[in-house]
């Protein structure tokens, strides 16, 4: 009797216990990731709807549009106009396509993985679709040309395409790079850089009189919501492929 005290359980029992524990912990992580991502996307979607309603009803946050434009006009100088115009072009279709394409190719080549390409294509396709459909549905006019800085833009105003695309692309790049970094500080800096880029592009649109402030606010929320959905889906995919299935140990599951 005393010889059995403290004796480890038979190997098959230990193996089953390890697999069961890994399975439960993996599915718990899966559930928490889905829940957190879902709540984030839901909250941002509600915020987007609130901004849209304010624009449609011409009340609420849309009351900031005119004061923001007036403030922008008061801050302009010939030099600032030139610098901000050159900068905002980086967030346009051509500028962001070049930036996103170059960074994506470098990531695919450096990491020998297609994940950056797949995620970036989905991200960009979604942001372009949302922008195109949103402009067509809302049909909002831009600020008067007399209060804008040339070169003028004539497409519909809501939402800001420069801001949506910049938010999504910068955020996706930051996410992909941060996943490869071991330094916590490096990950934080990636996030800060992406936020700073998105804010700067969005505010440049208001400064130049190409968009109302609510066009940009909605674009920020929409971009982050789409980005949150993609990152959540990718994390769920990774976690799901780390959970053993049909009795396979975790190390035999697909890495994702």
Residue 23 has pLDDT above 50, yes or no: no
Kindly report, residue by residue over 132-179, the tens digit of the pLDDT: 998 998 899 999 999 999 999 999 999 999 999 999 999 999 999 999
Among 36, 22, 51, which residue's Cα sits nearest to residue 247? 22
DSSP 210: S
Whether the Cβ atoms of residue 94 and residue 162 lie closer than 8 Å to each other: no
Looking at residue 246, its pLDDT comes to 41
DSSP 67: H
* pLDDT, tens only, 34-79: 787 778 778 888 888 888 888 888 888 889 999 999 999 999 999 9
Give the pLDDT of residue 8: 54
Query: How far is residue 243's CA from residue 25's CA, in Å, rounded to a whole number?
Result: 9
Once rounded to an integer, what is the mean pLDDT over residues 88-105?
Answer: 90
Question: Mean pLDDT, the chain, as a whole number?
Answer: 84
| Token reading at 231 | 């990152």
Range with the poorest average pLDDT among 15-29, 43-57, 114-128, 220-234: 15-29
Q: Tell me: cis bond preceding 158? Omega within 30 of 0 counts.
A: no
Please determine, for residue 20, whether its predicted confidence score (pLDDT) is greater than 70. Answer: no
What ranges do the domains of the chain cover? 64-234
- Rounded Cα–Cα distance for residues 230 and 147 (Å): 37
Give the pLDDT of residue 6. Answer: 53
CB 218 within 8 A of CB 226: no
**Cis amide leading into 47 (omega within 30):** no
């Amino acid at each position: 009797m005393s010889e059995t005290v403290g004796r480890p359980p038979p190997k098959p029992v230990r193996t089953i216990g390890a697999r069961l524990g890994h399975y439960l912990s993996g599915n718990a992580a899966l559930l928490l990731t889905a829940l957190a991502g879902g709540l984030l996307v839901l909250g941002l979607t509600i915020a987007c709807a609130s901004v849209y309603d304010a624009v449609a009803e011409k009340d609420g946050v849309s009351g900031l549009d005119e004061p923001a434009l007036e403030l922008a006009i008061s801050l302009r100088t010939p030099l600032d106009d030139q610098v901000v115009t050159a900068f905002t072009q980086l967030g346009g279709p051509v500028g962001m396509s070049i930036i996103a394409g170059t960074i994506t190719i470098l990531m695919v080549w450096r990491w020998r993985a297609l994940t950056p390409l797949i995620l970036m294509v989905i991200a960009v396709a979604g942001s372009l679709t949302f922008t195109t459909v949103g402009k067509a549905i809302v049909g909002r006019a831009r600020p008067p040309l007399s209060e804008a800085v040339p070169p003028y833009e004539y497409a519909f105003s809501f939402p800001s395409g420069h801001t949506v695309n910049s938010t999504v692309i910068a955020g996706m790049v930051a996410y992909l790079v941060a996943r490869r970094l071991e330094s916590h500080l490096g990950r934080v800096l990636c996030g800060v850089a992406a936020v700073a880029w998105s804010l700067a592009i969005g505010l440049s649109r208001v400064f130049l009189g190409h968009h109302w402030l609510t066009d940009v606010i909605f674009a920020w929320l929409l971009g982050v919501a789409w980005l949150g959905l993609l990152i959540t889906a990718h994390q769920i995919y990774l976690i799901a492929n780390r959970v053993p299935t049909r009795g396979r140990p975790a190390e035999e599951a697909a890495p994702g």
